[in-house]
Structure 1
Amino acid sequence: MSEESVTEIVPNTTHLYDTYDYFIHPHWKRFPPVSDSWHIFDGLFIGVVGITGVIGNILVIWMFTTCKKLKTPSNMLIVNLALSDLTFSAINGFPLKSISAFSKKWVFGMVACELYGLTGGIFGFMSIGTLAAISIDRFICITKPLQAARIMTRKKAFIMIVIVWIWSTLWSIPPLFGLGSYIPEGFQTSCTFDYITKSTSNRYFILGLYVFGFLTPLTIIIGCYIIILRAIKAHGREMTRMADKLNAEEADKNKKAKAEMKIAKIALMLISLFILSWCPYATIALIAQFGSPDFVTPLMAELPVLLAKTSAMHNPLVYALSHPRFRAALAEKAPCFLRCCPVEPAQTSTMSRRVAGRTASQSSVTSCATNLSDCQGGIQMQPTPTSAVSHGDLVKDLVGALVNMATQNASHIVQPVYLPNGVLPSNGVAAVRTPQVNIISGQGQQNAAFVPDTETEDPSKENVDIKKEKEASTSKEAAKV
């Protein structure tokens, strides 16, 4: 064999990946090894994302499990999401992937690679499923506010969490029994499903992961938020009509429009973050199975991995820090985390004060519309100055108004009442000290508001018995009135 033929064969039969003591798919040997700068960037990026995700999710779990106001059925889903993202960040992010990235290869062996891929599959699908469950919870809370307290109980929220756990596990364990496998991917510093092999069984498995693990939750999330936005828009039109009837100020209408825009932006941000995190990863898997393998380079395969791992970092930011009660509790217990975005004082608009307490449905939808993060799984009657008034206070106010009206009208009405001595005043109108009757107790008392300023003759000249008899009869007649 000539020297030229030897030099021609050696580059095609040896590769850096051949020196590894675990399986590397032949597809990755078609490309040159990744440069050191990319490995360093990968390790630093995953380190920042992993540490941020661990701290953020621990904070969310701590606040939602210790604050009594946050212990609601709806927030059980938030806690499950934080638990899933915490595990995903701690195991599939920092430190395992960061150590492998700085070592330029997976350094923990093939068994650890399979366990790493299994953990990533379970908690990755769990995060996606929990996001879909949260969207269903908000759909129920806003579109059916009167039935939300009965539908979303703690038991049913727990059942939803159990279903998400079972669903995630069922789609993650088949590679351990021969249906697919877990192998290193991209930069060969992390492990995931084998989406490269184009066997029939593996192709059906990858297609099932795409349809049921990604496309179905995405459809649920988009559908629920579209219905939520429509319900909020319809409620906004109803509130506008009520505001027009009550002659509400134009500023209140502008605030309502801004609140609806804010809710729409939050919903759009949630959907966009979900698509940005998981859509590239699902797309690469489909291209590897049904497209050109030349497109699936180590760099093109690694970038979706980095985007998917960032979901464990931004989920606590979006679903927890946008929660008003969570922010209030965090400002009380750990205000150092809100230096960049302090809690704004709550303001009650004029229109909300005027229309508060109209119906339970309207109050509930308004509560959920102003806070998309949580509706407490039921009807929310927001404490406003008007809704806090009791029925007893309302009756007292009405009685006071009637007394004031009677007092104002009494100055224009002069009632002829017989004087004890039967003497008329100089102006020809009979006037006496008329006993006032309390409209509540029915007891007669003197009140100057009902007595004209006229002089009467001395009643001592009359018989005392006749005087008492006439006063008693007058009191009885006044009491009847």
Structure 2
Amino acid sequence: MANETSPAEVYVHFLQTHPVETSILIAFLLVLTTIGVFGNILIIGAVSVTKGLQTVANVFVVNLAICDIILAGWVNAFFAAGAFLGEKWFLDRKALCDIVSFFCLSACLCSLATVAAIAVNRYVCICRPSIYPKMYSKLNTAIMIIIMWVYSCWLNIGALNGFGKFTYDKKMLGCIWDRNANRLFTVFFLLGVFIPVGIVATSYALIFVKVYTSKKKVAGESKKGNDSNMTKEIKLAKVLFGLFVVFLLMNSPYGVALIFDPSDIFPTVIWTLVVQLMHANGSGVNCFVYGFSNKAFNEGYKNFCWRILGLCGVKRPIKKRDPRESSTGTMATAATSVTHG
């Protein structure tokens, strides 16, 4: 009886088979990694050096920035390495591949949970202001952050115990959870995506209902010259809703691909692009949204940059103060942040 031999394993290494396209992808990933890391460091730095941004609510913004730094600086870097080194290099180092996948899944789920937490924070601040101080005390906020990180690890624990598994994805060109190993695992991941998205959509819907029902009242207070906190909160809610829309546009292709490609028939180019839309572009967008739409964060970025330059011996030029600007107005502007309160 002739000995039967199994066919040799074929490993993916697109840098060898598609050098031009893969080189462009690697360069693109490295640029996005740089933008994502430094952009989110700017967010954290702005909060750390600007007193007006040091609110309890901005803890959620900082937590989101930490998630995005993990996605941009750690996960993206290893996706670039995965495209450069190929599948076999990572399969020979399974422990490293598992660690990369663990951080990828945890940061992704925690990022989604944090976006939902920010939306709920805005809802309580605008629609239930009487309970806001007690609900968002420093202790409660710290507990919420811990819960979000614990929640973000539950699927990882399942993967490490055989419910799912981690692997080098041949179409995403990097280490991530195996979307083909267990369809139920994929369903739970999708729930981890769509439940936070539903919470965000509901929160902002309730906020805008509140805005339109109280529009005349707010307008009346503004005409009287009163400094309406509600008016500020409405403006901030609009900024954050815009952030959510951008976040949704960046992340939804990945969820759609998971739903409509259970048999893994989509070409590599689709999976490569959608995973980068989720892990690369989204992680570097927030700093631009905050900077362009919120004066306090824009000023915070400048404060942080000048603080860094100051450590190098460069002095910040003294800005002449406009005598027409009241100290009250200045303090109010500085105190306004993306998550006011």
| Range class of TM-score, shorter chain | 0.7 to 0.9
Aligned to 2:36: 53
Aligned to 1:448: none
Pick from 158, 163, 185 the counterpart of residue 205 of structure 1.
185
Pick from 238, 251, 254 the counterpart of residue 278 of structure 1.
251
User: How far apart are residue 130 of structure 1 and its match?
Assistant: 0.7
SS in 1 for 2:156: coil
Q: Contact (CA 8 Å) 1:287, 1:293: kept in 2 or not?
A: no
User: Where in structure 2 are the equivalents of 1:220-259 lying within 5 Å?
Assistant: 220-241=199-220
Cα distance in structure 1, aligned partners of 2:24 and 2:211: 44
Pick from 287, 310, 316 the counterpart of residue 316 of structure 1.
287
Cα distance in structure 1, aligned partners of 2:297 and 2:236: 18
The alignment of Structure 1 onto Structure 2 pairs a total of residues equal to 309
1:14–1:228 CA distance, 2 compared to 1 (3 A): same
Q: Which structure would you say has the larger RCO, counting Cα contacts within 8 Å and 6 or more residues apart?
A: 2
User: How far apart are residue 82 of structure 1 and its match?
Assistant: 1.0
Write the deviation string for residues 383-442 of structure 1: whole angstroms up to 9, x where unpaired.
Answer: xxxxxxxxxxxxxxxxxxxxxxxxxxxxxxxxxxxxxxxxxxxxxxxxxxxxxxxxxxxx
User: Where in structure 2 are the equivalents of 1:160-199 lying within 5 Å?
Assistant: 160-187=144-171, 189-197=173-181
| Identical pairs, percent | 23
Gap regions ≥5 residues in structure 2: 1-5, 309-320
Aligned to 1:76: 59
Aligned to 2:315: none
Q: Contact (CA 8 Å) 1:50, 1:93: kept in 2 or not?
A: yes
Cα distance in structure 1, aligned partners of 2:88 and 2:242: 35
Cα distance in structure 1, aligned partners of 2:240 and 2:40: 21
Cα distance in structure 2, aligned partners of 1:188 and 1:225: 33
User: Which residue identity is paired with 1:224?
Assistant: S
User: Which residue identity is paired with 2:339?
Assistant: D
Aligned to 1:306: 276
Q: Contact (CA 8 Å) 1:97, 1:190: kept in 2 or not?
A: yes
User: How far apart are residue 236 of structure 1 and its match?
Assistant: 2.3
Cα distance in structure 1, aligned partners of 2:143 and 2:291: 22
Cα distance in structure 2, aligned partners of 1:188 and 1:136: 33
User: How far apart are residue 127 of structure 1 and its match?
Assistant: 0.7
Aligned Cα root-mean-square deviation (Å): 3.6
User: Which residue identity is paired with 2:338?
Assistant: S
Aligned to 1:101: 83
Q: Contact (CA 8 Å) 2:254, 2:275: kept in 1 or not?
A: yes
Pick from 22, 35, 47 the counterpart of residue 39 of structure 1.
22
Cα distance in structure 2, aligned partners of 1:71 and 1:371: 10
Cα distance in structure 1, aligned partners of 2:291 and 2:130: 25
1:263–1:160 CA distance, 2 compared to 1 (3 A): closer
User: How far apart are residue 336 of structure 1 and its match?
Assistant: 11
User: Where in structure 2 are the equivalents of 1:461-472 lying within 5 Å?
Assistant: none
User: Which residue identity is paired with 2:209?
Assistant: R
Aligned to 1:439: none
Aligned to 1:121: 105
Cα distance in structure 1, aligned partners of 2:264 and 2:81: 29
Aligned to 2:313: none
1:286–1:146 CA distance, 2 compared to 1 (3 A): same
Per the normalisation by structure 2, the TM-score is: 0.78
Cα distance in structure 2, aligned partners of 1:70 and 1:43: 36
Q: Contact (CA 8 Å) 2:290, 2:297: kept in 1 or not?
A: no
Aligned to 1:287: 260
User: Which residue identity is paired with 2:11?
Assistant: Y
1:63–1:166 CA distance, 2 compared to 1 (3 A): same
When Rg is computed on C-alpha atoms for both structures, the one with the higher figure is 1
Cα distance in structure 2, aligned partners of 1:371 and 1:234: 24
SS in 1 for 2:214: helix
1:243–1:314 CA distance, 2 compared to 1 (3 A): closer
1:316–1:243 CA distance, 2 compared to 1 (3 A): closer
Cα distance in structure 1, aligned partners of 2:222 and 2:283: 42
Aligned to 2:305: 334
User: How far apart are residue 67 of structure 1 and its match?
Assistant: 3.0
Q: Which stretch of the first structure deviates more once superposed, 118-127 or 232-241? A: 232-241
1:243–1:169 CA distance, 2 compared to 1 (3 A): closer
Q: Contact (CA 8 Å) 1:123, 1:168: kept in 2 or not?
A: yes
Cα distance in structure 1, aligned partners of 2:145 and 2:64: 10
Q: Which stretch of the first structure deviates more once superposed, 64-73 or 215-224? A: 64-73
User: How far apart are residue 116 of structure 1 and its match?
Assistant: 0.9
Q: Contact (CA 8 Å) 1:92, 1:116: kept in 2 or not?
A: yes
Gap regions ≥5 residues in structure 1: 1-11, 21-30, 249-255, 338-344, 357-365, 377-481
Q: Contact (CA 8 Å) 1:132, 1:221: kept in 2 or not?
A: yes
User: How far apart are residue 101 of structure 1 and its match?
Assistant: 2.1
